[in-house]
């Protein structure tokens, strides 16, 4: 397995405005993202941040250049294949949450699990409930978005992004509409998920405090990237109970193996898909055990 989860090779994006006007959003961008890192992308409005994120997430295509995601060249894939890749390999978290207002918190998290079709509806609900407990919302399972604060809605969105165990989570201004206390909780949550599960996060933000949780920062201006080498750190030690989050994660992953086994026995998923999903979970468990041993 390659150490890189995303590779952008000479990526440019040009938008046409009318017949005679062109806007170059990205200009010959080269970027490699390692598995398990937190990459922060910063830049002013109109610099190309969202375009870059959309191309990584296969929501947009480059005008030129190549995009590789988890060792697959996705540049020219048809939309039906990109839909499957987004469902299995990418989680999305947006500034305005993008929760479905008519669904409860648990139903919002269930949605991508049901769309994937690897679990029964009952197992999908149990998995969604466990994910919401991991993000600290075990008492809000049946609340609708209008009954939740901005910070709580964003944590539902994070749980939804993790629903199909994607190796990559893309976040567009994840703390842009939350208060400072909720911001600290979200940042601590991301650091813990990254540390113990090895989830790769790519975060677009204006917020310098968000940038401080990154392993690496790249700046974008005029569609070109510039990388920052030295990053100061932020102290989030006492914001959340990390041990409790880890305990919930371990229990969740063990039950996830059992849910997949039931799906395999019922013929919901084939042997090859079962082996792929189970292998991913075993890798996560081994990472958590290794991190715990190392202290």
pLDDT at 292: 82
pLDDT at 233: 58
Q: Is the pLDDT of residue 170 over 70?
A: yes
Strand partners, 83: none
How buried is residue 76: exposed, middle or buried, by Cβ count under 10 Å (0-12/13-18/19+)? exposed
264 contacts: CB under 8 Å, gap ≥ 6: 270, 271, 274
Q: Of 127-131, 180-184, 257-261, where does the model show the most confidence?
A: 127-131
Task: Please write the tens of the pLDDT for every residue from 116-147.
Answer: 998 999 999 999 999 999 988 999 999 999 99
Whose CA is closest to 92, among 174, 33, 214, 29? 174
In contact, 138 and 126? CB cutoff 8 Å: no
CA dihedral 129→132→133→134, nearest 10 degrees, is: 130
pLDDT at 211: 81
In contact, 6 and 32? CB cutoff 8 Å: yes
pTM comes to: 0.85
In contact, 170 and 53? CB cutoff 8 Å: yes
283-292 mean pLDDT: 85
CATH at residue 269: 3.40.50.300
- Count of the separate structural domains present in the chain: 1
Reported as a pLDDT band with limits 50, 70 and 90, residue 59 is very high
Reported as a pLDDT band with limits 50, 70 and 90, residue 112 is very high
- Residue 67 phi, psi dihedral angles, 5° rounding: -130, 120
67 vs 19, higher pLDDT? 67
């Amino acid at each position: 397995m390659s150490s890189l989860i995303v590779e952008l090779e000479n990526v440019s994006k040009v938008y046409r405005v009318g017949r005679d006007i062109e806007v170059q959003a990205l200009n010959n961008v080269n970027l490699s993202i390692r598995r398990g890192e937190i990459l922060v992308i910063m830049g002013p409005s109109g610099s190309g941040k969202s375009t870059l994120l959309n191309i990584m997430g296969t929501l947009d295509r480059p005008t030129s250049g190549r995009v590789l995601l988890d060792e697959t060249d996705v540049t020219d894939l048809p939309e039906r294949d990109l839909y499957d890749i987004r469902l299995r390999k990418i989680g999305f978290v947006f500034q305005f949450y993008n929760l479905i207002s008519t669904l409860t918190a648990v139903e919002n998290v269930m949605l991508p699990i049901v769309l994937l079709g690897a679990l029964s509806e009952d197992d999908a609900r149990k998995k969604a409930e466990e994910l919401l407990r991991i993000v600290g919302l075990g008492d809000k399972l049946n609340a609708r978005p209008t009954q939740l604060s901005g910070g709580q809605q964003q944590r539902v969105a994070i749980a939804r992004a993790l629903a199909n165990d994607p190796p990559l989570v893309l976040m567009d201004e994840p703390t842009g509409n939350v208060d400072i206390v909720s911001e600290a909780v979200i940042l601590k949550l991301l650091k813990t998920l990254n540390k113990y599960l090895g989830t790769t996060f790519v975060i677009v933000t204006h917020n310098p405090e968000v940038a401080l949780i990154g392993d690496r920062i790249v700046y974008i201006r005029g569609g070109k990237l510039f990388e920052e080498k030295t990053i100061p750190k932020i102290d989030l030690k006492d914001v959340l109970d990390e041990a409790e989050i880890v305990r919930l994660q371990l229990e969740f992953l063990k039950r996830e193996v059992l849910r997949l086994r039931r799906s395999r026995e019922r013929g919901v998923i084939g042997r090859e898909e079962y082996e792929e999903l189970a292998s991913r979970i075993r890798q996560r468990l081994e990472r958590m055990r290794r991190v715990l041993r190392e202290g």
